[in-house]
C-alpha cells in the first residue's frame, strides 16, 4: 500500500514555505528601514491559505500587499521599525510551530511504517 505524502503531511509543508517567504519579505523591509521612499510589503496568511486551498498557491508565487503605516514618515518610507521587528519575531515563532507540527506528522508516519 502506497502512502501519499501530500495527503499525509497535509497543509504543513505549504505553511512552512509561506513562513520562509514571509521571513524573506520582512527581512527586506527591515533592511530598507532607512531607504527613502521604500514601501513595506507583507504577505497575508489567510489570503495565501485561500490560494493554496483553491490550488493556485503551489508555485510559491504569493502576492504581497503594501502596508499602510500607522504613522507616516517625512521621507515616504512606510517601514515602522518596531512593528516590523515584532512581525518578524512573530513569524519566526509561527515558523517554529509549523516545523513542530510537520515533525510530529513525520514521526507519526515513521512510527506507522515501522509498526510501533
pTM score above 0.85: no
Please name the residues in contact with 25: beta carbons below 8 A apart, sequence gap of 6 or more.
41, 42, 43, 64
Beta strands in 1-116 (DSSP E): 41-42, 65-66
Instruction: Kindly give the confidence (pLDDT) of every residue in the chain, 116 residues in length, as a single tens digit, with 9 standing for 90 and above.
Output: 567 777 778 888 888 999 999 999 999 999 999 999 999 999 998 988 888 777 765 566 788 899 889 887 899 999 999 999 999 999 999 999 999 999 998 998 889 888 86
pLDDT of residue 36: 96
Amino acid at each position: 500500500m502506497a502512502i501519499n505524502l501530500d495527503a499525509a503531511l497535509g497543509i504543513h509543508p505549504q505553511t512552512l514555505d509561506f513562513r520562509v517567504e514571509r521571513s524573506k519579505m520582512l527581512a527586506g523591509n527591515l533592511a530598507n528601514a532607512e531607504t527613502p521612499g521604500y514601501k513595506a510589503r507583507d504577505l497575508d496568511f489567510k489570503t495565501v491559505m485561500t490560494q493554496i486551498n483553491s490550488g493556485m498557491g503551489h508555485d510559491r508565487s504569493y502576492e504581497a500587499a503594501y502596508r499602510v503605516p500607522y504613522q507616516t514618515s517625512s521621507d515616504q518610507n512606510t517601514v515602522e521599525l518596531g512593528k516590523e521587528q515584532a512581525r518578524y519575531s512573530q513569524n519566526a515563532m509561527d515558523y517554529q510551530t509549523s516545523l513542530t507540527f510537520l515533525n510530529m506528522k513525520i514521526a507519526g508516519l515513521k512510527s506507522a511504517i515501522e509498526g510501533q
